[in-house]
Structure 1
Amino acid sequence: MVIGLFRWYNGRLAARPLLTQSITTAVLFATGDITAQQLVEKRGLKGHDLTRTGRMALYGGCVFGPVATTWFGFLARRVNLKNPRLETLARVACDQTLFAPVMIGVFLGSMATMEGNSAKERLEKTWWPALRTNWMVWPFVQIINFTFLPLQHRVLFANVISIGWNSYLSWVNSQSK
């Protein structure tokens, strides 16, 4: 079953990589929010905020999925060194100094805007703590990602790990209201 699903996914990925990775990202961002609401916040089904889950899916599918797919491709094409270990470290350094700060800001600002709140206030309150937490988790994840996974599976790997990360971001975002 799992092997068949993986083959089906690879077929979709080969045919329409950006669309496939965007849809996958939307589903996994929503899963991260559901995890945050049900396991972390313990809201229960009656207290679940479907609009919030929808915002996460929308952001994941329309913003993060396409941007991450493009970013990973850029790193694979442009950050190439003779030493594979140094290449991985250079890619992680680029990812964590350029991509992470910007995308955390885009996420928090987008969520605030979609909620009808001030993006500026949200960023002032939550961006730096979220980025510091990111730096405790993602460099290690990206070392594994850039070392062992082929380019076409890097967004999927990051998205699976992101279920927990998105739970955290969703929770941080909800606490800042």
Structure 2
Amino acid sequence: MDSLLLQYNDILHAHPVITQVLTVGTVALAGDVISQTFIQNKPSFDFRQAIIYYIVGLFFTGTLTVLWLMFVEWLVVTDGVAGAAIKTALGLVFFTPPFFLCFLVVHGFLSGHSWEAIKENIRTKYFVILKSRYAFYPVAQFVNFEFVPVLYRAIYLSVVALLWNMYLSWKTNQVSPCPPVEPSEKTELEPVG
């Protein structure tokens, strides 16, 4: 086990961004697997749901989380309790609200939901998820910024996020009032401008 951790640490130091992103994606997948297996009580394992969660975790959650942590570290040069409090507050105000709005849109599209179903999902679940996030994450974020070395912050959040991802997977995959549409019923969004 020690050699595995040492190898991971070596890879993390050699390729910090990609290693952190892959870790976040893998933990998101683990959260969905645990959620499906022990919380959602599904009659059978939904591999499509797990793959969607991994893709979202890898290309959306992992990437944005790592970039946000790099940005906030660059932006706030204050150390100690004050710096940790500022970084935590910035995340709660400027990162979390748009992140979860976009998360619901991305997850909805990848799950095959229509735009109308996605909007309904946002209407019914966004503030519930946001409220839960605000109850769960401020202390974890503060601890992260105050005590965890910069290179390990995304990984720490991934470990904390395992519980959060189980909740988020359960919440976003609850039966929606609008079921996924058939491929022939989907409409494409046109770019504005």
Question: Please, what TM-score do these two structures have when normalized by structure 1?
Answer: 0.92
Shift of the 176–139 alpha-carbon distance from structure 1 to 2, 3 Å rule, reads farther
Structure 2 counterpart SS, 1:175: coil
Per-residue CA deviation, residues 14-72 of structure 1 (Å, 9 max, x unaligned), is: 2212211121112110100011111111225xx11010000110011111111111111
Report the equivalent of 1:25.
Answer: 24
Q: CA deviation at 1:81?
A: 2.2
Report the equivalent of 1:39.
Answer: 38
Range that drifts further, 16-25 or 154-163: 16-25
2:51 to 32, 36, 54: 54
Bigger helix share: 1
Report the equivalent of 1:99.
Answer: 95
The code of the aligned residue for 1:158 comes to L
Report the equivalent of 1:72.
Answer: 69
* Unpaired runs of at least 5, structure 1: none
Report the equivalent of 1:111.
Answer: 107
Q: Which runs of 4+ in 1 moved over 6 A?
A: none
Answer yes or no: is 1:128 the counterpart of 2:104: no
Q: CA deviation at 1:13?
A: 1.2
**Max radius of gyration: which structure?**
2
Instruction: Give the total of aligned pairs.
Output: 173
* Unpaired runs of at least 5, structure 2: 177-193
Q: Does structure 2 retain, via aligned residues, the 8 Å contact 1:122–1:176?
A: no
Two-structure CA RMSD over aligned residues (Å): 1.3
